[in-house]
Structure 1
Amino acid sequence: MSKNKHLCPCGSGKRAKLCCRPNTTLVKFGFSSSEKLELRLAAEALAAKGKHQEASEILERLVKISPHNPLIWNDLGIQYEAAGRTEEAFTALRRGHHADSTYPPIWYNLGKFTLDRFIRLYQSGELTEDHAEELLTRAIQFLNGNLDRDPENADAHYNLAIAYAFCKDEHRAKAHMEVAVRLGSEYEAPRGWLNSPGL
């Protein structure tokens, strides 16, 4: 045991002086559970104040030490989107989906952000017919994937209703809107939404 006391604890087999020791004051390899919780709460507090860039920086630190945690990737995606970093938001959500494809909030946010992208392009007139179909198809797949795992999600039902309205699928649009209104008291069908869903 004593002959190994000068070896670097990283497991490289090198002497500490020649390996990580000079950087140990700069690098922290992990956080305790309570430290992680404190960081998440700090990110939530910053987000509540509209400081989404600062919140995302904290979450970036957390995701480096917990790269397989879908909750952190999901939170990071939300903060990126709120900060106007849309492409990075999709990347974070896809990373979270890759880490755990069963986590319902990531399915929902991928669907919601895809639908939001479709609506922005639709309203600006920058949408080709093929691209419109592709975005709506993906949004519907993700939102349905969320409902497979969380069937009582009023938000998912509401956004699916809007997506189906754009697809001119009145039957499914009405069915999901009815469920959204029943589940979420804050929801009501937008006026004229089935005929001209230019939301």
Structure 2
Amino acid sequence: MYRFEIKLLYFSMALIPLGIIMRMNDKIAGGFFIGLGLIGLFIYFVAKTIKDYLNLKSINLNIIQLILVVLMTVVLFSKYLFLRFSDYIGLLIIPLFIIVSIIYLLKEKSKNINITITSIFYLLLTIPLFAFEFHKSPRQYIPKEWYNRYDVRKGVPIDIPYGFHFKETEELSIKAFELRKTKQYYEAIQLYRQAIKIEPNNPRLFFDLSDCYARVNNLESAISTIDTAIQIDSKYAAFYNNRGLIYYKLKENKKAINDYLKAIEIDSTQMTFYCNIALVYYYEEEFNKACEAIKKAESLGLEVDNYEEFERIKNRCSE
């Protein structure tokens, strides 16, 4: 029985980096392997926690660390698979796990080897959750919610005026859209790629594919894909707007401004374009331009009171 438990532990642990590597290469099964690995670890450590507690009849640092490992398994499952970020449970458990793990690794004299290895493994898995601030472009397995520089969460849907030449392409696009609604972006990416093979000159497919890449923070691919859409149709403003958003996330504000200006040049009736460029101007400390953009957005229907960021800009304008 003990051998089976150990095999379960290390087999489950091996599945997780395999799944991450597959995700980085946009393979559909990546999420499955990550989930399967975390479920295996959850089962192992729940059983071990109960068993060790019943044997000891008391709580020591080993038991506390076991409980935190179980909780961290749930947290990592929610973040790596369901992209649930900024939740209070995670914000509480992650720092608590890090602190207790360091104490456990440094101070505990009777360390359990399996708890030790798993604790180090989980500490490594938490690094991508914070590393986004230290890289110009984050790895794509970090959900975009953790790379949201200025906490701008509300978006405006864009209607793309491109049809499909083949029924099969349309069906693939519809399926991909349904996957996007449930945040299954990697699966959607595969479907858009299939659709592009059928209609390689349809800019809508590249636009949607770029959005999927951006949502899993594969920002380099997001830019190159939207570049292709622009090459096919350089007169559609939303393409430049979306590329500007990606540059904005990469902190390449000058490029973002240029794209927003191009979008406005093509279509000056879109409130969203002025909102986006106002934010970049504001964080570039070009306050007069930010104020002008916000005023224009208001004239097009922006309700500033609904957006904390824009209200901050407007207050600056009145100073």
* TM range, smaller chain: 0.5 to 0.7
Mapped contact 2:244–2:256 kept (Cα < 8 A):
yes
The Cα of 1:194 is off from its aligned counterpart by 7.7
Aligned to 1:75: 208
Separation (CA, whole Å) in 1 of partners of 2:278 and 2:172:
36
Mapped contact 2:210–2:226 kept (Cα < 8 A):
yes
Mapped contact 1:70–1:103 kept (Cα < 8 A):
no
| Greater share of helix | 2
The Cα of 1:161 is off from its aligned counterpart by 0.4
The Cα of 1:79 is off from its aligned counterpart by 0.6
Structure 1: gaps (5+ residues): 1-30, 119-134
Aligned to 1:43: 176
RMSD of Structure 2 on Structure 1 (CA)? 2.3
CA gap of 1:99–1:170, structure 2 versus 1, over 3 A, is same
The Cα of 1:184 is off from its aligned counterpart by 4.3
Separation (CA, whole Å) in 2 of partners of 1:184 and 1:40:
31
TM-score for both structures, normalised by structure 2? 0.43
Aligned to 1:109: 242
The Cα of 1:93 is off from its aligned counterpart by 0.8
Equivalent pairs counted in the alignment come to 150
String of CA shifts for 1:8-34, please: whole Å, max 9, x gaps.
Answer: xxxxxxxxxxxxxxxxxxxxxxx9622
Alignment of 1:86 with 2:219, yes or no, is yes
Separation (CA, whole Å) in 1 of partners of 2:314 and 2:220:
30
Percent identity for Structure 1 against Structure 2: 23
The aligned amino acid for 2:269 is: E
The Cα of 1:167 is off from its aligned counterpart by 2.5
Alignment of 1:171 with 2:171, yes or no, is no
Aligned to 1:58: 191
Mapped contact 2:210–2:223 kept (Cα < 8 A):
yes
String of CA shifts for 1:150-185, please: whole Å, max 9, x gaps.
Answer: 212222111100111123222210111122234344
Mapped contact 2:290–2:313 kept (Cα < 8 A):
no
Aligned to 1:25: none
Q: Secondary structure at the match of 2:250?
A: helix
Aligned to 2:65: none
The Cα of 1:189 is off from its aligned counterpart by 5.5
Separation (CA, whole Å) in 1 of partners of 2:294 and 2:265:
17
Separation (CA, whole Å) in 1 of partners of 2:165 and 2:199:
12
Superposition map of 1:93-172 within 5 A: 93-118=226-251, 135-172=252-289
Mapped contact 2:226–2:239 kept (Cα < 8 A):
yes
TM-score for both structures, normalised by structure 1? 0.68
The aligned amino acid for 1:68 is: N
Q: Secondary structure at the match of 1:175?
A: helix
Mapped contact 2:271–2:302 kept (Cα < 8 A):
no
Separation (CA, whole Å) in 2 of partners of 1:74 and 1:67:
12
Separation (CA, whole Å) in 2 of partners of 1:99 and 1:147:
19
Separation (CA, whole Å) in 1 of partners of 2:165 and 2:274:
38
Mapped contact 2:294–2:314 kept (Cα < 8 A):
no
Structure 2: gaps (5+ residues): 1-163
